[in-house]
Structure 1
Amino acid sequence: MHKGSCLCGAVTFEIEGGLQAPDACHCSKCRKQSGHFFASTDVPRRQITIQGDKHITWYQSSEKVRRGFCTICGSSLFWDPPHRDWIAVAMGAFDSPTETKLKMHIFVADKGDYYDITDNLPQNEQ
């Protein structure tokens, strides 16, 4: 069981089972939403339980994806493609060690010019 929350604790979640290795998205939308790149893990919807969902605001950032954040503290929590059977959960929202390691970087063609990616992980242009 993995647990997490927003900064103020109004939104909490529990995930049954292990976590997939996360990726880091460097697209301009993720950078603007998170303040840097957005690291997340994809979780099957049947494995996640969310409490305090009345405090989640969903922003429709594209035709196919919405992003969830806490209305009280503003924490970025979810990247949700409603047409899929999974939801991405922000790695920074987990309360305890996740026992995962970043597996790759995506949308690196769009990354900010103020940092370098130097960890030798795979880098996908899109």
Structure 2
Amino acid sequence: MTEIHHGGCLCGAVRITVRGGLSPVSFCHCSQCRRQTGHFYATTDAAVDDVSITGEEAISRYRSSPEAERGFCSKCGSALFWRADHSGRMSIMAGLFDMPTGIDGGYHIYCADKGDYYAINDALPQYAASSTV
């Protein structure tokens, strides 16, 4: 049986359905993620072909680097996803999914760039930059 995960933004204008598995949560501490959300990013990855989005007209996209874009709801401002160009996967904000999510924490990335106002106190693997996972 195929796993199905539903989620959406704060105002409900954007809804996301993933038909298939979700990866463990990646916690990204880079400065771009912190500036966009006010803290670190918590995402789960899914195959692009497994993702369907309703409310596409409410999504604004921002090119955060030459290689990737970030999507957010233009109505409520909720961060939605990060996607590298030409990738078959997308990173979707873990907090968007309806509970129970069935996903677990996986690892921390860009720890060398983390904010100075918090500590990482769990036992998950930590990588100075991108993970090798």
CA shift, 1:31, in A, is 0.5
Aligned residues: 126
1:16 equivalent to 2:51? Answer: no
CA separation in 2, counterparts of 1:55 and 1:110?
Answer: 31
Question: Partner amino acid for 1:94?
Answer: F
Report what 2:126 is aligned to: 123
CA separation in 1, counterparts of 2:111 and 2:19?
Answer: 31
CA separation in 2, counterparts of 1:100 and 1:70?
Answer: 23
Q: CA RMSD in A?
A: 0.7
Q: Is the 8 A contact 1:2 1:96 kept in 2?
A: no
Task: Render the CA deviation track for 1:38-72: whole Å, top value 9, x for unaligned.
Answer: 01011101100000011000000000011000000
CA separation in 2, counterparts of 1:12 and 1:27?
Answer: 26
CA shift, 1:122, in A, is 0.6
CA shift, 1:81, in A, is 1.0
Instruction: Give aligned-pair identity as a percent.
Output: 48
Q: Is the 8 A contact 2:21 2:46 kept in 1?
A: no
Report what 1:4 is aligned to: 7
Q: Secondary structure at the match of 1:61?
A: strand
- Extract unaligned runs of 5+ from structure 1: none
Please, which of 76, 79, 86 is the counterpart of residue 76 of structure 1? 79
Report what 1:37 is aligned to: 40
Structure 2 length-normalised TM = 0.92
- Extract unaligned runs of 5+ from structure 2: none
CA separation in 1, counterparts of 2:82 and 2:70?
Answer: 5
Q: Where do residues 46-57 of structure 1 align in structure 2 (5 Å cutoff)?
A: 46-57=49-60
Question: Partner amino acid for 2:87?
Answer: R
Structure 1 length-normalised TM = 0.97
